[in-house]
Chains A and B, each alone.
Chain A
């Protein structure tokens, strides 16, 4: 007996919740970045589960697309973090307040 579609969706929802709360609770930029990756993975899990249960290849294809976008996001995001660290000597998102006031 295989686990039902609902259990995969529940796992995905729980992982997405943890990621979304993590983005708010974390203060350094790299921690927030990793929480975003976790949310992307939760969505990928729903794609693969639906692809399995409907016998359609499109879901898995879009998982591949999401992974490519995540790789692009990693390259640019970490570049921004390094550039920010050079200017401020910290990656705390509270220090990114140049446009305040």
Chain B
């Protein structure tokens, strides 16, 4: 009983925060609403017996990604979002897409409700850090390695993108570095 009440509480919080994120024109308010969604989802993960994922959700999403987003919003000193006046037909596209997705959600809800056996397996406990870690470094080693390489590529790409040098300047820097290395020898 208590878990049902908590689920509806946090589900309502998540949906309300998500709607407020889309509604607000100021990007900073949107970012803070999105942090609300992440925290509510993290509480739902705890109720789904996944404590590790809940902790990682707070650490990575609310802690790292949103700090980066808020930092960029502050850095660029953005003003408020202007209304869609040039592309007015987008309102209809967005409304239609939302309607279709909601109908689809309703069908999924209906189908799963009608399925015969959907009680959670209470005896198995899979959300512990030990279970995740041992699966990660034995059975799923290759995807973990690929994700590691992807993160490295993303970091290098981000540094290159934001660097304030043009191509000729970059070539000069590389030449200079090569020269220095040559002198050391």
Q: Is the interface of A mostly helix, strand, loop or mixed?
A: helix
Chain B interface residue number, banded: 35 or more
Number of residues of chain A lying within 8 A (CB) of chain B: 71
Q: Kindly state the separation between the CA atoms of A22 and B150 in the bound complex, as whole angstroms.
A: 27
Interface residues of B in 90-127 (CB under 8 A from A): 90-91, 93-95, 97-98, 101-102, 104-106, 108-109, 112-113, 118-121, 123-124, 126-127
A27: which B residues are within 8 A, CB to CB?
Answer: 81-82, 84
Q: Kindly state the separation between the CA atoms of A26 and B158 in the bound complex, as whole angstroms.
A: 24
Interface positions of B (Cβ within 8 A of A): 1, 3-4, 7-8, 11, 14-15, 18-19, 21-22, 27, 30-31, 34, 37-38, 41, 44-45, 48-50, 52-53, 56-57, 60-61, 64-65, 68-69, 72-73, 75-76, 78, 81-82, 84, 86-87, 90-91, 93-95, 97-98, 101-102, 104-106, 108-109, 112-113, 118-121, 123-124, 126-127, 131-132, 135-136, 140, 143, 147, 150-151, 153-155, 157-158, 161-162
Interface positions of A (Cβ within 8 A of B): 1-11, 13-22, 24-28, 30-31, 33-35, 37-38, 41, 44-45, 48-49, 51-58, 60-61, 63-65, 67-76, 78-83, 85, 91-92, 94
What are 12 A-to-B residue pairs whose CB atoms are below 8 Å?
A2-B120, A17-B98, A21-B94, A27-B81, A37-B61, A41-B41, A45-B44, A56-B126, A57-B131, A57-B132, A74-B65, A76-B161
